[in-house]
Amino acid sequence: MSEKYDYLIVGAGLAGCVMAERLASQADKKVLIIDKRPHIGGNCYDRIDEAGVLIHQYGPHYFRTDDQEVFDYLSNFTEWHYHDYKVKVKIKDKLYTFPINLNTLREFYGREFTEEEAKAFLEEVRDKSIANPRNAEEQVVSQIGWELYEAFFKGYTEKQWGMKATELDASVTARIPIRTNTDNRYVLARIQAMPKDGYTKMFDRMIKDPRIYVKFNTNYSEQHRESAMTIIWTGCIDEYFKYRFGKLMYRSLDFKFKSFYGNDYKQELEQINYCDKAIAFTRTVEIKHVTGQQNPNTTISTEYPKAFGEPYYPVLNKRNIDLYNRYLMESLNETSVYFIGRLAQYKYLNMDEVVKSALSLYKEIANN
């Protein structure tokens, strides 16, 4: 590979595209992006399916943020369709509001609660002996007690991660809020919206700069390393180091799509989680609820968690956290290599957090 670049970016997902756009447009750098997949956008990639429906190929990506800088930056490349995200969970044959709030308690127990009564009830049932939760199970039980935990969290968590909740770090379930008001939104972020034309169109606009070159269906090699002065790595950190300390665990998913012709919608809302462990899948998503697309057809995706395949989620338990910290220390010895993104940082990051990290990394590079 004789052509030289200022930066090689491994991975054409959110972090990679933001870094490429900033380096090219703001620093006049020549950038090569490579990705093993045949498309832009990484796991945020969306496409029009055979039914004419815009679908999220790798699961729903609900953009939300309270960070105005992040929102203003992305608004350079897209207009927005605003939508407050809603989720319900199915337990046996009944749907319940989720995350757990005042409405959930009323639905589950079949009686009225005021906000003050709900607070008092949760205080009564929570396991007060757990002052410092050591794992994902204790994290939830310390807030809402065993009955609600076993109904809403245990089965879903254990089939999602393929292990007992007691084997997972407390941070896994700490992300999910518990409320005692009637706010049914999945998240409370001030800005909740989808790119009006989809994520893929947004990414296409981000990398249209003539100083950005993209190669798909391309795996990283030492030859690529020699083509650039600096590398930005957005893939799995253990892969970069050729697994010298062992492999980190990443949870993967299988997606099954089914289209319905002549149906505006099939579900009452965008996402339904299935808590019963006996049901093999974790959730069904009808993304048309949130994209604003006008189409007489609809498509539902069903997610089946699995241990191997395309990496989606870092599996946060003691073994993996310790192993990641070894790789992190090793990464500090790398010269002219930056690690960014969910897989490289082995951390569950929301989209706005990825964008924020990339913008911050660019500023760090530009100021050096």
Q: Does a structural domain hold residue 353?
A: yes
Neighbours of 208 (CB within 10 A): 12
One domain, residues 236 and 320:
yes
One domain, residues 111 and 213:
no
> Of how many residues is the chain composed?
368
Give the Cα separation of 7 and 213 in Å (integer): 10
For residue 44, report the phi and psi dihedrals to the nearest 5 degrees.
-85, 0
Mean pLDDT of 330-337: 94
One domain, residues 123 and 26:
no
Tokens matching residue 146: 């065993």
Q: Does a structural domain hold residue 62?
A: no
- For residue 199, which of 94, 59, 312 has the smallest C-alpha distance? 59
One domain, residues 163 and 99:
yes
One domain, residues 168 and 211:
no
**For residue 33, what is the domain's CATH number?**
3.40.50.720
One domain, residues 235 and 143:
no
Give the Cα separation of 97 and 99 in Å (integer): 6
Q: At what angle do helices 136-149 and 115-125 cross, to 10 degrees?
A: 110
One domain, residues 233 and 324:
yes
pLDDT band at 224, cuts 50/70/90?
confident
Give the model confidence (pLDDT) of 4-56 as tens digits.
999 999 999 999 999 999 999 999 999 999 999 999 999 999 999 999 999 99
Domain boundary among 151, 174, 197: 174
pLDDT band at 245, cuts 50/70/90?
very high
What is the structure's pLDDT at 103?
97
Domain of residue 329 covers 5-40+207-248+314-367
Give the Cα separation of 112 and 125 in Å (integer): 17
What is the structure's pLDDT at 85?
97
Give the Cα separation of 174 and 93 in Å (integer): 27
Domain boundary among 153, 174, 195: 174
- State how far the alpha carbon of 154 is from the alpha carbons of 164, 166, 214, in Å: 8, 10, 43
- pTM, rounded to two decimals: 0.95
* Rounded percentage of the chain residues whose pLDDT exceeds 70: 99
Q: Does a structural domain hold residue 236?
A: yes
Q: Does a structural domain hold residue 253?
A: no
One domain, residues 340 and 228:
yes
Coil vs helix vs strand at 237: helix
For residue 238, report the phi and psi dihedrals to the nearest 5 degrees.
-70, -30
Q: Does a structural domain hold residue 360?
A: yes
Give the Cα separation of 189 and 59 in Å (integer): 20
Tally of structural domains, the chain: 2
One domain, residues 159 and 220:
no
Q: Does a structural domain hold residue 244?
A: yes
What is the structure's pLDDT at 265?
96
What is the structure's pLDDT at 138?
97
Residue 1 has pLDDT above 60, yes or no: no
One domain, residues 94 and 139:
yes
What is the structure's pLDDT at 226?
85
Residue 2 has pLDDT above 80, yes or no: no
Domain boundary among 128, 155, 174: 174
One domain, residues 218 and 161:
no
Give the model confidence (pLDDT) of 84-101 as tens digits.
999 999 999 999 999 999
Mean pLDDT of 213-226: 90
One domain, residues 158 and 17:
no
The conformational region for residue 52 under phi > 0 = left, psi -120 to 50 = alpha, else beta, is left
